[in-house]
Amino acid sequence: MPLLAGADDPALYDADPELLEAASVAILLGQPLLLTGEPGCGKSTFADHITWRLKRGLRALRVDGRSNMELRDLFYTYDDVGRFRDRDGDERPAAYLTLQGLGEAILRGSDPEKTADLRNALLGNRNGEGARCDPIAPSRDVVLFDEIDKAPRDVPNDLLGRLTGERVSFQIPELNTGGGAPVEIVAQSEHQPIIICTSNSERSLPDAFLRRCVYHHIETPTGARLRRIIEMRVFRGSQPSDALFRSVEVLFAAIRERSPRKKPGLAELISFVMLLREEGWKADDELTGTRWKPLAALTLLKTQEDRQNAEYLLNISA
């Protein structure tokens, strides 16, 4: 089994109080929570953690930002080519439609009596041809819009028009075969989805979007919080000795300070300490000798330039 299997268990996520407060405010206001921070700091996995906190065990629905995405892609995708190819075959438009994270959350939050046919047509597709899905009580799901800054600038602003206010909904024109109004799916007010957006700050987001979000920046952990994370995710509750933790923390800080290109993040540090444990380091050991250096280079140094300067970057006695 891979060493990292289970490392992303949402129950092991160490959320600081300010982050939990920001999430609580976003839920109360019905606004998206926008998270920034270095890659690997835990922005995306927080969505699973808050889902676990609210519902004990479920995972957040997910949409990944892409440079060529459109607003529709947040709700569903439609196989226009397949539909055209089979125009003389399957006459069920829903057979060519796949719900995406936000669309699924809105459908699951809708009135099941009003959307029973849509639920079976769209969610039942996953259970096989013609399958009927079991009755689903309305739910309030968490949706992760990961790396929203990769999407075209009009997508965040257009999204707000569908998420704020009393009516959270989306339309599916492709399901309108009778020439009338497009099919619309509306989430019940008490079951409107909780939206968490992440950004690596590669591109600025529109001011209108920022004004209507609850914002929080996740700092790269240090000190006592970093130790708690190592204890939970690597040693599963066992406490590493002061000597081991200090050695690892000093190394991590030194590489981050000295690396000219790619600073390692929390995710890379967890991989390194897991390898140490697998190679025989105990919770009460410290980094001595050189046997740990190849492991550190493989997990913490992510560019050729850093690899060429490995001896300097890994010199934790400096």
In a domain, 55, yes or no: yes
In a domain, 255, yes or no: yes
In a domain, 179, yes or no: yes
Confidence grade of residue 130 (pLDDT, cut at 50, 70, 90): very low
Domain boundary among 217, 251, 283: 217
Span 276-290, average pLDDT: 73
In a domain, 244, yes or no: yes
Residue 64 has pLDDT above 80, yes or no: yes
269 and 309 within one domain: yes
pLDDT of the residue at 183:
85
Residue 158 has pLDDT above 90, yes or no: no
Span 104-119, average pLDDT: 89
185 and 263 within one domain: no
In a domain, 288, yes or no: yes
Q: pLDDT of 170-188, one tens digit each?
A: 988 888 766 667 888 999 9
Of 3-17, 19-33, 40-54, which range is least confident?
3-17
Span 205-222, average pLDDT: 92
Confidence grade of residue 127 (pLDDT, cut at 50, 70, 90): very low
Span 36-50, average pLDDT: 92
Span 248-263, average pLDDT: 86
In a domain, 4, yes or no: no
In a domain, 318, yes or no: no
Strands 142-146 vs 61-64: parallel, antiparallel or unpaired: parallel
Report the number of distinct structural domains present in the chain: 2
Domain boundary among 167, 199, 217: 217
Of 51-65, 160-174, 217-231, which range is least confident?
160-174
113 and 256 within one domain: no
154 and 205 within one domain: yes
Strand 194-199: give its sheet, edge to edge.
61-64, 142-146, 194-199, 33-36, 214-217
pLDDT of the residue at 131:
40
125 and 270 within one domain: no
Q: What is the pTM of this model?
A: 0.86
Of 97-106, 121-130, 235-244, 287-296, which range is least confident?
121-130
139 and 18 within one domain: yes
Of 34-38, 113-117, 314-318, which range is least confident?
314-318
Residue 17 has pLDDT above 50, yes or no: yes
User: Domain range spanning residue 42?
Assistant: 10-217
212 and 238 within one domain: no
Residue located via tokens 């009460």: 284
Span 141-170, average pLDDT: 87
Would you say 163 and 26 are in contact if contact means Cβ atoms under 8 Å apart?
no
The per-residue pLDDT of the chain, averaged, comes to: 84
Strand partners, 187: 168
pLDDT of the residue at 61:
92
In a domain, 152, yes or no: yes
282 and 230 within one domain: yes
Confidence grade of residue 231 (pLDDT, cut at 50, 70, 90): confident
86 and 18 within one domain: yes
Span 25-35, average pLDDT: 93
255 and 110 within one domain: no
pLDDT of the residue at 11:
86
27 and 142 within one domain: yes
79 and 64 within one domain: yes
Span 212-230, average pLDDT: 91
Domain boundary among 217, 242, 260: 217
Q: What CATH number did the domain enclosing 183 receive? A: 3.40.50.300
